[in-house]
């Protein structure tokens, strides 16, 4: 019975990381957009580090990095679907790294969805506030939510390449543990076969 509480504690910790990460991204995104709208004129360019970093206030009717500007409703529906999936899927996560992936994604999607639902010109068709410009890197203007979404995708790819599962265990290690438990010859049993094992049901 000792393994069940351990699994539940791991899940609770992962969920806490996911929620805190999402709230941090969402809060920073909405605060930065509020400050931009309150202090900058639309279209104004404010150099921060020369051409390396600039503030440029624009209203984006499309997706991240100003893509597909005529499909606002579609992105609103997709964002709602992503949020629903994350909420449903979150209980399976027992890894801090994977919790961070979904926390960054949830916070970023919520940030831009809030703009689409509540900003002009209308509900569901609102324009997203973009203001970060890095001309030397990419010819696009983006925001904190976009950065969080892209970061989550990068971390997702790294974890996938390394073979890290939702429980935080690498597939190579899992395979090694499984191999150790297999009989070494016909009729043989593993060395610890007589030791009781407690398996936590997921």
Residue, of 87 and 30, whose pLDDT is higher? 30
Q: What is the DSSP letter of 75?
A: H
Q: Which of 50-59, 75-84, 92-101 has the lowest mean pLDDT?
A: 75-84
- pLDDT averaged over the chain? 81
User: Is the model's pLDDT at 70 over the cut of 90?
Assistant: no
167 is catalytic: no
Can you tell me the mean pLDDT for 56-61?
90
Provide the pLDDT for residue 153: 96
Highest-pLDDT range among 82-96, 141-155, 163-177, 178-192: 141-155
Beta-strand ranges (E) seen in 41-183 are 45-47, 54-60, 128-133, 141-142
Residue 152 phi, psi dihedral angles, 5° rounding: -65, -35
Burial of 106 (0-12, 13-18, 19+ CB in 10 A): buried
Provide the pLDDT for residue 192: 46
Can you tell me the mean pLDDT for 142-161?
95
**Looking at 115, 146, 188, 192, which residue is catalytic?**
146
**Looking at 130, 167, 188, 192, which residue is catalytic?**
130
Q: Which residue has the tokens 């206030």?
A: 57
Residue, of 166 and 130, whose pLDDT is higher? 130
192 is catalytic: no
Beta bridge partners of residue 142, listed in sequence order: 132
Residue, of 184 and 81, whose pLDDT is higher? 81
Question: How much of the chain exceeds pLDDT 90, in percent?
Answer: 49
What SS3 string covers 100-135? HHHHHHHHHHHHHHHHHHHCCCCCCCCCEEEEEECC
């Amino acid at each position: 019975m000792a393994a069940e509480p351990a699994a539940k504690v791991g899940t609770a910790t992962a969920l806490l990381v996911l929620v805190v990460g999402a709230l941090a991204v969402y809060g920073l995104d909405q605060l930065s957009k509020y400050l931009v709208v309150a202090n900058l004129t639309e279209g104004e360019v404010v150099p921060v580090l020369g051409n390396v970093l600039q503030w440029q206030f624009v209203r984006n009717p499309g997706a991240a990095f100003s893509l597909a500007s005529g499909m606002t409703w579609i992105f609103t529906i997709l964002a709602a679907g992503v949020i629903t999936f994350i909420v449903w899927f979150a209980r399976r996560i027992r890894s801090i790294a994977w919790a961070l992936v979904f926390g960054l994604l949830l916070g970023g999607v919520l940030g831009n969805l809030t703009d689409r639902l509540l900003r002009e010109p209308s509900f569901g068709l609102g324009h997203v506030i973009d203001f970060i410009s890095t001309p030397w890197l990419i010819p696009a203007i983006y925001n904190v939510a976009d950065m969080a979404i892209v970061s989550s995708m990068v971390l997702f790819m790294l974890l996938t390449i390394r073979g890290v599962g939702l429980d935080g265990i690498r597939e190579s290690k899992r395979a090694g543990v499984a191999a150790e438990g297999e009989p070494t010859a016909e009729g043989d049993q593993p060395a610890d076969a007589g030791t009781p094992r407690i398996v936590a049901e997921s």
